[in-house]
Structure 1
């Protein structure tokens, strides 16, 4: 009996010493890690904080009807919610309706060039998606903006305030399609009286983000 106990004790001691021996001898380890250190280059994701684009649409000059307008815009996105944007455009305004009543019309020619430029602060309010069919979706963003600038028309230069709303659809991370509607408010004196006019603009454009 005593001999059996001594044999069991020796066996347990041998088992307890086996892991220490394997740990001390890497050649006897079950798995020897062989990991080479790699140089990792962090990807450079574009911030796309700047936006530049062209637009075209319709500019409705109060008392003179609507005409085709076009221009360009440049924006800087401060964060996901706010951005600042400068835009400039031009259109041709006709006094054809007045020539039917007043001999000679109002302008020296049949048309006058109207040039406008604004600086706006915008806020993104409704992020979402636009679906094309059942398998295609593109990110979209509804925004509002407000600001001021100048309008030059028929020899007059007027301080302008504008309010607008629009939607932008991202075709890619760097490319977007947008539609804007704005009300350009300024005082105009062409009919012998200074009146505050509301001149609605509806345009669509393409934007490149970088």
Structure 2
């Protein structure tokens, strides 16, 4: 049986045309494609760990209307995921609805309407991604959560304040970025005659630089 199989295999080899058994090497194409890789300049967080930002936005002070706010933040990047942030902000409380309806009644003098807060927060970047802009521009982004504690100076008193929120960062270069933030500031007070927890909402934007 083995002899028959070997004989059949030999017949197949001998019967195969020589041009099939020995394929010639392919000739190179007449036109070589001129393809060159395009360099990509990818903006990442710079090697510097500190980041300083100028902040502007809008602060809704419960019962006292919404006001323009401004401030600054200093951030230390512990790692690619975690950072520590120290910040300060300023605003001015508007009149309450009661004051507007009552006419000359003033719950707070003008000096006590100055609203100032400062905080120390811990942040965590959890959704890195990319943002696409017209013209083929692509920038790295980060979505992050932040929370911490500090104090608020308002209505002639200093109050312990807790804050938390979320932010979105767009890295235009390795040293310049834009932040969009939404945060809540909570403190207990009896400004209006009874103890209550004030929940003040911040919507802000900031431009930051690494150094």
Q: What band does the TM-score fall into relative to the shorter chain?
A: 0.7 to 0.9
1:85-133, Cα deviation, whole Å (9 max, x unpaired):
0000000101252223344221123971000001000000100000002
SS at match of 2:97: helix
Runs of at least 5 residues in structure 1 that lack an aligned partner in the other structure: 1-45
In the alignment, what sits opposite 2:181? Answer: 180
SS at match of 1:99: helix
**Residues 181 and 205 of structure 2 are in contact (CA less than 8 Å); yes or no, is this contact kept in structure 1?**
yes
In the alignment, what sits opposite 2:108? Answer: 107
SS at match of 1:48: coil
SS at match of 1:172: coil
- Runs of 4 or more consecutive aligned structure 1 residues displaced over 4 Å after TM superposition: none
1:49 aligned onto 2:60: no
In the alignment, what sits opposite 2:148? Answer: 147
Partners of 2:206 and 2:195 in 1: CA distance: 33
Q: CA deviation at 1:144?
A: 0.2
Partners of 1:125 and 1:163 in 2: CA distance: 15
Give the strand-richer structure, 1 or 2.
1
**Residues 92 and 111 of structure 1 are in contact (CA less than 8 Å); yes or no, is this contact kept in structure 2?**
no
**Residues 90 and 116 of structure 1 are in contact (CA less than 8 Å); yes or no, is this contact kept in structure 2?**
yes
Partners of 1:65 and 1:119 in 2: CA distance: 25
Partners of 2:148 and 2:110 in 1: CA distance: 32
Partners of 2:133 and 2:87 in 1: CA distance: 30
Partners of 2:135 and 2:128 in 1: CA distance: 20
1:89 aligned onto 2:89: yes
In the alignment, what sits opposite 1:202? Answer: 203
In the alignment, what sits opposite 1:70? Answer: 70
Residues 171-180 or 98-107, more deviating? 98-107
Pairs aligned (count): 166
Partners of 2:184 and 2:157 in 1: CA distance: 19
1:43-89, Cα deviation, whole Å (9 max, x unpaired):
xxx51211001010000001111000000000000000100000000
Q: TM-score, normalization: structure 1?
A: 0.75
1:156-183, Cα deviation, whole Å (9 max, x unpaired):
1100000110000001000001111100
Instruction: Please identify the structure whose Cα radius of gyration is greater.
Output: 1
